[in-house]
Structure 1
Amino acid sequence: MSKSLLIISRQAPWSGPGAREALDIALAGGAFDLPIAVLFLDDGVFQLSGTQQPASLQQKDLGANLQALPMFGVEALYVAQRSLEERGLQDHSSSLAFERLDDSSVSALIDRYDLVITL
């Protein structure tokens, strides 16, 4: 039986390789039908913003990777409500379907998974 995996993405898309690596792990696991969820926490919520301009920082856009998650079977997407509020993104909408979680729900989510990777 496969172990379930929660990937917690805490880095902004332009702050280093962590955001891309988190999405790559999710896509790879999804390709093998592993039960995977992704939680966007802290600065990781900036990945959900559609107003990014990665070319100005000589970075690649993560938008295509994010949009590919459901196609690879990674449909359990979560975002920490507090992280959105602290960064002024509480009214943010995204083309991805994700569930907003309060602090207690974030803790409960982490407890539900066998393995947790934080990047």
Structure 2
Amino acid sequence: MAKSLLVISRQAPWSGPGAREALDIVLAGGAFDLPIGLLFLDDGVFQLASSQDAKAVQQKDLSANLQALSLFGVDEVFACSHSLDERGLTSPGIAQSLDSEQIQEMIDRYDQVITL
């Protein structure tokens, strides 16, 4: 049986390659039917914000990758409610909002965790 993997994405989409790499890992894992989840934490929740202008910061838009998660069988998508509140974001969109206690319980369910 395959070990489950949780990828924690902590970087804003425009702060470097970490956000894209996290999504790439999750999409690849989903393509191979790996039990995989994705948690947006800290500035990573900015990836969930709508109406981003990636060209303004000379970055590639990640929204298509986010929309593809379900196509790759990635249904375990979470966002930290505290991180969302701190950054003035209201709706996590495709992600389920979790508080700190729920996040710890969720992390404990995974065999391996990668943080980017």
Specify if TM > 0.5: yes
Q: Which runs of 4+ in 1 moved over 6 A?
A: none
Q: Please say if 1:117 is aligned against 2:114.
A: yes
* CA–CA distance in structure 2, aligned partners of residues 56 and 86 of structure 1: 24
Deviation string, structure 1 residues 7-59 (Cα, Å, up to 9, x no partner)? 00000000000000000000000000000000000000000011211101110
Residue 50 of structure 1 corresponds to 50
* CA–CA distance in structure 1, aligned partners of residues 80 and 104 of structure 2: 10
TM-score by length of 1: 0.95
Q: Paired residues, what number?
A: 116
8 Å contact kept, 2:26–2:38: yes
Identity %: 65
TM-score by length of 2: 0.97
* CA–CA distance in structure 1, aligned partners of residues 47 and 8 of structure 2: 12
- After superposition, residues 76-115 of structure 1 pair within 5 angstroms as 76-89=76-89, 91-92=90-91, 94=93, 96=94, 98-115=95-112
* CA–CA distance in structure 2, aligned partners of residues 73 and 66 of structure 1: 12
* CA–CA distance in structure 1, aligned partners of residues 35 and 64 of structure 2: 21
SS at match of 1:8: strand
Residue 40 of structure 2 corresponds to 40
Task: Mark the runs of 5 or more structure 1 residues left unpaired by the alignment.
Answer: none
Residue 59 of structure 2 corresponds to 59
Residue 5 of structure 1 corresponds to 5
Task: Mark the runs of 5 or more structure 2 residues left unpaired by the alignment.
Answer: none
* CA–CA distance in structure 2, aligned partners of residues 54 and 71 of structure 1: 23
Shift of 1:92: 2.6
* CA–CA distance in structure 1, aligned partners of residues 85 and 105 of structure 2: 20
* AA matched with 1:87: R
* CA–CA distance in structure 1, aligned partners of residues 11 and 40 of structure 2: 9
